[in-house]
Structure 1
Amino acid sequence: MSTQTPTSSVRGSADERSSLLRLYLARGVLAVAWALAFAVSHEEIDATAIALLVSYPLIDAVSSLIDYLATPEGSERRITAFNGAVSTLAVIAVGIAGAGGEAPVLHVFGAWAVISGAAQVIVGIRRRGPELGKQWPTLISGGLSFVVGIFYNIQAAGGNSSLDVLPVYATGGGVWFIAQALLLGWKSRQLRTRTA
């Protein structure tokens, strides 16, 4: 992902749609790539697995920073900043939890999934105008993240921890981000056709 310049303050402008499309597509592709890499390298929590575990919330933290810079002033920008801060804390917490085994890692991922999922739903609601594609994939992804995060914490507390669930989680999130990017691309083409 590359850094973005702030977009126009006009809600749903072509620049904003284009920035969000690139961001969602990059996040989606990176999430799926991460899922593939982690699926083949996490049989034990070694240095490689911990590096991958740390990198996933780091992707979200960087994405939130890019989104923050590209979003006009408003409450949605503050939520994006909050999510970026939470994801940065998750990077540190996952790194520390990795030394304790699967259960602490799953607890951290679960807590992070709940908070970031809730933030994603709020941002999706605020971007639900027709110009930004109604945001259904974002809302579904955030809602699922929230629910799955609760499940992860229950699973970790019950002594049945397994990190095998994380590639599925990342793949699902990636697919929803890619779907949102495709929806934004379709909406952009529609709007260009109407104004042509």
Structure 2
Amino acid sequence: MAHHQLDLVRADRERWLKLYYFIRAGFSVAWVGAAFAVAPSSPVMGGALLVLYPAWDAAANFVDAFRSGGLAQNRTQALNVVVSLATTVAVLVALQMSMNRVLGIFGAWAILSGLLQLGTAIRRWRNFGAQWAMVLSGAQSALAGGFFIVQATMPAVPSIANVAGYAAVGALYFLVSAVWLTVSAWRQRAGHDRQVPLG
């Protein structure tokens, strides 16, 4: 009975994870679209999008941790919530100074959140498949963060397009993870159906 209950909990969390990855991919695609379509002609909108991005990440990690056993069981995500909220405030302040400072903050955030995402993916790998894309995403995020920090020290003034490219790659990783989990679940069900005797 206990084993059956654990299977139900695992199945519920796997369904949530698929939905979560699809939602994260969809948001990132929409954000990138807005960054290229609206932000260039509206600095206010561009600033709002830059503040929204880490704020959304904090909210998404909080909900995911809550749906996956709580913040106490998902400490890497709990830390990610704190880091992303601090980044949201820092970006809001830095927008009053320069885009170079904003990009530098995004760089530090990409490194920290990437490493925390990497930790979350490794921890989840034991229970769910398809975490290799999240591992790659976390590693790539940390590398991109270092590149952002270097760019921020250059005399050229960066724009939201610098962050949009990073967000687009993140969207791809989330989409790959969602599709991979969906296909894995379908293959498991197909294999189970073949094993069940007819009649």
Is the pair's TM-score, using the shorter chain for normalization, greater than 0.5?
yes
Q: Which runs of 5+ in 2 are unaligned?
A: 194-199
Q: 2:81 aligns with which of 61, 81, 84?
A: 84
Give the structure-2-normalised TM-score.
0.86
* Structure 2 residue matching 1:99: 3-state secondary structure: coil
Greater mean alpha carbon deviation, residues 115-124 or residues 76-85: 76-85
1:145 maps to which residue?
141
Task: After superposition, give the CA deviation of every residue in 1:67-125 in whole Å (9 maximum; x if it has no partner).
Answer: 11111368760111110111111111111111112101101110110000000111111
Q: Which runs of 5+ in 1 are unaligned?
A: 1-7
1:60 maps to amino acid: D
Calculate the aligned-residue CA RMSD, in Å.
2.1
1:71 maps to which residue?
68
CA-CA distance at 1:189 after TM superposition: 1.2
1:194 and 1:162 map into 2 onto residues whose CA distance is 51
1:50 maps to amino acid: G
1:145 maps to amino acid: S
1:157 aligns with 2:144: no
1:156 maps to amino acid: A
**Structure exhibiting the larger radius of gyration computed from Cα positions:** 2
2:14 maps to which residue?
17
CA-CA distance at 1:46 after TM superposition: 2.6
Task: After superposition, give the CA deviation of every residue in 1:31-66 in whole Å (9 maximum; x if it has no partner).
Answer: 011011012233377321111111111111111011
1:111 maps to amino acid: A
Give the structure-1-normalised TM-score.
0.88
The count of corresponding residues between Structure 1 and Structure 2 is 188
2:23 maps to amino acid: A
Greater mean alpha carbon deviation, residues 163-172 or residues 19-28: 163-172
CA-CA distance at 1:193 after TM superposition: 2.2
2:141 and 2:42 map into 1 onto residues whose CA distance is 23
Task: Name the % identity.
Answer: 30
* Structure 2 residue matching 1:160: 3-state secondary structure: coil
